[in-house]
């Protein structure tokens, strides 16, 4: 198929259908006309999407398609890139996160992030968890920290494995345990949204299954956005899937619809392995 020709077809948005079919999950993140430039180069072309509460939304697409760039807009990670410029509107829970009055540190407490490679601090498991709550002033007493540590580790499905060695270094855990520790660290500050950038790509299949199972449990309390190269993972863990290609949000729909009957030829070509 001729990708260039299809390029002009523009995005297929399903927001209308989501409302028409009565999607019961309220909109958590509302993005309108979001564009990202790195210097003169436009990395993301006018993205409109509603990300819903207590759902897992997966971003898929080939390398360089803009999915990670867009994910990083959602907690203003792109602020750290000097040449990056973001325009348009992103509202989380109704708050415009690019409003100059927004405290970015507070924003990142509301919108946590888990990265591709597990990156625990070179500190004890306990210290890893309480780092965020301490700097955000969420808790002060030892008793409060103890509660947060147990709750976070339980939430990440790690408590039983590490409860007897909370003072050992987080870097001594296995890869899968380290990633779950990072998830525990992310949920310790009780965020509303968790962004995950390829959270399983450095993990073996068993550790991946544990993290996927955890993601499914976490959506009861959080809104989750996950970027993944693994399409089967997107199919397994998400309720909504958004496909990006060449900086464009091509299609966003129920995950089951994307993987059985995508509406756009480009999505079809990508998920069936016809081009990448």
Partner 1 sequence: MGNDHIVRSYDEELNRLTGLLARMGGLVEAELAGAIEAVSSRDAELATRTVRSDARVDELEREIGEQVVRVMALRQPVASDLRLVLGSLRIAGDLERSADYAKNVAKRAVALSQLPVLRPVHAIPRMGAVVREMLKDVLDAFAARDVAKAVAVWNRDEELDEMHGSLFRELVTYMMEDPRNITGSTHLLFIAKNIERIGDHATNIAETIHYLVKGVPLAGERPKGDGTSFSTVGAEGAQ
Residues that bind partner 1 (CB under 8 A): 1, 231-232, 235, 258-262, 267-269, 271-276
Taking the least distance from each CB to partner 1, the nearer of 62 and 93 is 62
Q: Shortest gap between Cβ of 269 and partner 1 (angstroms)?
A: 6
CA distance 108 to 133: 12
DSSP letters for 98-157? T-TTS-HHHHHHHEEEE-SS----SSBHHHHHHHHHHHTTS--SHHHHHHHHHHHHHHTT
Q: Shortest gap between Cβ of 273 and partner 1 (angstroms)?
A: 5
Taking the least distance from each CB to partner 1, the nearer of 64 and 276 is 276
- For residue 62, the Cα-to-chain-centroid distance in whole angstroms is 17
Taking the least distance from each CB to partner 1, the nearer of 16 and 137 is 16
3-class SS at 7? Answer: helix
Taking the least distance from each CB to partner 1, the nearer of 223 and 267 is 267
Q: Shortest gap between Cβ of 272 and partner 1 (angstroms)?
A: 5
Q: Shortest gap between Cβ of 67 and partner 1 (angstroms)?
A: 18
Number of residues that make up the chain = 276
Tokens 């829970």: give the residue.
Answer: 93
CA distance 241 to 108: 24
* Nearest in space to 12 (alpha carbons), one of 197, 234, 275, 241: 241
CA distance 224 to 267: 22
Give the residues across from 157 on adjacent strands: none
Taking the least distance from each CB to partner 1, the nearer of 98 and 259 is 259
Taking the least distance from each CB to partner 1, the nearer of 44 and 56 is 56
Q: Shortest gap between Cβ of 260 and partner 1 (angstroms)?
A: 6
Q: Shortest gap between Cβ of 23 and partner 1 (angstroms)?
A: 20
């Amino acid at each position: 198929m001729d990708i260039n020709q299809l390029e002009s077809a523009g995005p297929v948005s399903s927001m209308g259908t989501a409302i028409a079919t009565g999607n019961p999950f309220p909109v958590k993140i509302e993005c309108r006309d979001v564009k990202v430039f790195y210097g003169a180069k436009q990395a993301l072309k006018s993205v409109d999407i509603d990300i819903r509460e207590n759902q897992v939304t997966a971003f898929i697409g080939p390398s360089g398609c803009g999915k990670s760039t867009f994910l990083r807009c959602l907690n203003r990670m792109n602020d750290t890139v000097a040449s990056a410029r973001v325009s348009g509107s992103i509202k989380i829970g109704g708050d415009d996160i690019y409003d100059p009055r927004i405290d970015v540190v507070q924003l990142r407490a509301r919108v946590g992030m888990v990265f591709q490679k597990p990156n625990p601090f070179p500190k004890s498991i306990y210290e890893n968890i309480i780092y965020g709550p301490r700097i955000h002033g969420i808790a002060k007493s030892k008793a409060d920290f103890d509660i947060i540590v147990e709750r976070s580790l339980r939430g990440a499905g790690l408590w039983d494995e590490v409860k007897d060695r909370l003072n050992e270094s987080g870097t001594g855990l296995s890869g899968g345990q380290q990633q779950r520790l990072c998830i525990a660290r992310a949920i310790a500050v009780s965020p509303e949204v968790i962004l995950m950038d390829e959270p399983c790509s450095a993990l073996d299949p068993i550790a991946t299954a544990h993290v996927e199972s955890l993601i499914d449990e976490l959506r009861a309390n959080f809104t989750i956005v996950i970027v993944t190269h693994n399409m089967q993972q997107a199919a397994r863990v998400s309720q909504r899937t958004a496909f990006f290609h060449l900086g464009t949000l091509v299609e966003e729909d129920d995950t089951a619809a994307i993987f059985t009957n995508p509406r756009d030829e480009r999505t079809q070509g990508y998920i069936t392995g016809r081009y990448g």
